[in-house]
Structure 1
Amino acid sequence: MSLSSESRPRPSWQVREPPPPTGRPLPAAAHLPGLRRVVAPNPGPMTGHGTNSWLVDHPGGTAVIDPGSDHPAHLEALLAAAGGRITHILLTHTHHDHLTGARPLGRMAGAPVCGFRHSAVPAFTPDIALDDGSVVAGLTALHTPGHATDHLCFLTAERIVFTGDHIMGWSTTMVPPAPDGSVRQFLDGLARINALAPTLLLPAHGPPIPNPESCIHALAAHRQSREDRILAALRQGPATLEEMMRRVYRAIPSTLRRAAELNLLAHLEKLRDDGCAIHDRDGWRANAPHEERPSP
C-alpha cells in the first residue's frame, strides 16, 4: 500500500511500467523462470495496477505469495499458473489487498496459509505461524514491521527478496502510527534488507526493482527529507494535526488525504520518541534544535 501524496517530477529511483495484464503469469526476469507473478484485478490509488501474486517454484511444488484478491478469475489464474501444484500460500501481511484471496485459494488448492505468528487481524490465524527466520517452501521469512506489525519479507537462497509493501519501486510506502506501524521500525527494516545485499527486489505492487541498493537509499533519504520538512513546520509554532497537514503538504488528492494524515502522525511520533517534538494540549511543537543525522 503506497502513498503518492503530491504531484511532482518522477524521482530517479522510481521504476514504473504500463498497466500489466491480469489473469496470466508474467516473468520476474528472463533468467528466473521459476519466479512469476499474476497481477490481481484490484487497482486503485493505494494499490497501483493491483497486487502482485508471486508464484515461486520449489522442489515440492509452487508457493503463492499474497493471493491479493478473491476474484474467481484471479484464483483460477493462480491455480493454472502453478499447474495445480500449490503447496503453500504465504502472506507478507494481513492488509485486505493481500489477505482477501488467501482462504479461498487455500480451500481450492488444499494448501495451508502461512503468515506471521502475531496476526494484525484478530479474526485471522495462519495455518502455519511464521517467525523471523522461519523457512517455508525454500524461503526465509524476515519480520519487517513498520507498514504493518505483522509484515514479512521473504528471502531466497539467491538473495532475491519479496518485499511486500515494505519496499516498492513505483511509490513510497504508507507508514501508519502506533500501534499499527512505526517509522523507526520501517527504517530499521530498510537497513536490514540493504545489509543482505539483495540481487533483486520483488514488491507486492509495481514492477521488479533491479537496483535494490539505490532504491533503498533513496527511500531512506525520502523519509529523512520528510522528517526535515516536518521539523521546519514545527518550528513555526504549535499546531494541530490539521494545521500540520496544511504546513507539510502543498496539495493532496482527497483519496489519499487520510493516508497522508496517518503517515504524518507516524513521523510526528518518531520525532517525539527521538526527543525532537512534544505533543501537549496545544498540539504538536518542536522540542529542541534539530541536529542533522545521517539517513539509516
Structure 2
Amino acid sequence: MREAAPPVGQPLAAAPGIRRIVAPNPGAMTGNGTNCWLVDHPGGTAIIDPGSDDPAHLHAIRAAAGPVTHILLTHTHRDHLTGARPLGAATGAPVCGFRHSAVADFTPDIALDDGSAIAGLTAVHTPGHATDHLCFVTADGIVFTGDHIMGWSTTMVPPAPQGSVRQFLDGLARIDALDARLLLPAHGPSITAPAACIRALIDHRLTREATILAALDAVPATLEDMMRRVYRAVPPALHRAAEMNLLAHLEKLREDGHAVHGHDGWRVAPGRPGRAGSPHPA
C-alpha cells in the first residue's frame, strides 16, 4: 500500500509510545524513505533503523526521543545503517545488531541473537532479505518487521549467500505464528491486518515460483533470457533487483529438484514439465 510522502522531520504516532520519523532517502528501493522507529520503554527510548546520516534527520530523532538507550538495526543495508554510528556518537547509545554482521565494516556494540531481549523488545532472526535481518517484537503484539515485510512493496530477496527465498518464507511463517496485532515496517505505512498481509506475501512468492518454473525449458536459458520471459513489465530502474529475485527463486527451484544450472544457463530438471508442459527427456 502506497502512502503520500510523510512530512520531513516530524514524528508520526503509530501506537502509544511508538512513533516514526521518515529518513530523507527516498528512491526506487526505499519508497518515501526508511522509517526510523522511536520506541519508548521504562529506561528511555530505543531507536530502530536511524537510516540516513543527514544532520537534520538525526537532530529530529534526538528532539523527538527521550534519553536514547539503544540503537537497534533490523539489518545492515545502507539505508538502515548509515545514521547509526553518528547517532550513537551523539547520544552515547550502543548500536545493536545481529551477532554475525552481513557487512565486513560493521560490528555491533551489542550482539543480538534470535530470542535476545533488549529495551523491552525481543529479537527474532528472519534471514532471507539479508543474512543478519532481525525483527523486533513488543510484549503486546507489535512487530517491527524491517524489510522482511514492508508496507509499500514486496521485498527484494537476493540470491545466496546474501539471501534465500526458503529462509524468507520460513521467516514469514515465524512472524505469522506470533499472531501480531500490528506490523511496523521499515518502509511504508503501518500494516493493520498482519495475517492477511503475510498470506498475500506467501501467495505472491509461490505464484512467482510457479511462473518461473513454467518459464523453464529443456533448452538452457541464460538469466537474461529468463528475465525477459518472467519480468516483462518491470521498468529498467528495477531490472537489477528483479534479476536478483529471479536468481534467488531459481536457486530454490534447484534445491527442490525442479531446475538445473549449467555453464550454458538454467533448464528444467529431467522428468519435470518444461514450457508448454513438454517434459524434459529423462
Range into which the TM-score falls when normalised by the shorter chain: over 0.9
- Listed as ranges, the matches of 1:243-262 within 5 Å are 243-262=225-244
Question: Equivalents in 2 of 1:93, 1:276: separation in Å?
Answer: 31
1:72 to 31, 50, 55: 55
2:111 to 129, 139, 142: 129
Indicate whether 1:40 and 2:23 are aligned.
yes
Residue 26 of structure 1 aligns with which residue?
12
SS for the counterpart of 1:55 is strand
- Listed as ranges, the matches of 1:39-188 within 5 Å are 39-83=22-66, 85-188=67-170
Question: Equivalents in 2 of 1:33, 1:16: separation in Å?
Answer: 23
Question: Equivalents in 2 of 1:112, 1:282: separation in Å?
Answer: 49
Task: Please give the TM-score of this superposition, normalised by the length of structure 1.
Answer: 0.90
The one-letter amino acid paired with 2:43 is G
Unaligned segments of structure 2, at least 5 residues: 274-282
The one-letter amino acid paired with 1:20 is P
Higher relative contact order (CA 8 A, sep 6+): 1
Question: Equivalents in 2 of 1:232, 1:133: separation in Å?
Answer: 39
What's the CA shift for 1:251?
2.4
What's the CA shift for 1:169?
2.2
Q: Is the 8 A contact 1:23 1:74 kept in 2?
A: yes
Deviations 1:53-76 (A, max 9, x none): 000000000000000000000000
SS for the counterpart of 1:219 is helix
What's the CA shift for 1:22?
1.6
What's the CA shift for 1:235?
3.1
Question: Equivalents in 1 of 2:217, 2:235: separation in Å?
Answer: 26
What's the CA shift for 1:236?
6.6
- Listed as ranges, the matches of 1:142-291 within 5 Å are 142-235=124-217, 237-287=219-269, 288-289=271-272
Q: Is the 8 A contact 1:237 1:285 kept in 2?
A: yes
SS for the counterpart of 1:171 is coil
Tell me the C-alpha RMSD between the 2 structures.
1.0
Question: Equivalents in 2 of 1:259, 1:134: separation in Å?
Answer: 31
Unaligned segments of structure 1, at least 5 residues: 1-14, 291-296
Question: Equivalents in 2 of 1:49, 1:75: separation in Å?
Answer: 17
The one-letter amino acid paired with 1:22 is V
Question: Equivalents in 2 of 1:19, 1:249: separation in Å?
Answer: 28
SS for the counterpart of 1:57 is strand
Deviations 1:173-231 (A, max 9, x none): 00000000000000000001001101100000000000000000000000011001101
Structure 1 runs, 4 residues or longer, greater than 2 Å off: none
Count of aligned pairs between the two proteins: 272
The one-letter amino acid paired with 2:153 is S
Deviations 1:93-123 (A, max 9, x none): 0000000000000011110000000000111
What's the CA shift for 1:24?
1.1
Question: Equivalents in 2 of 1:236, 1:285: separation in Å?
Answer: 5
Paired-residue identity, %:
75
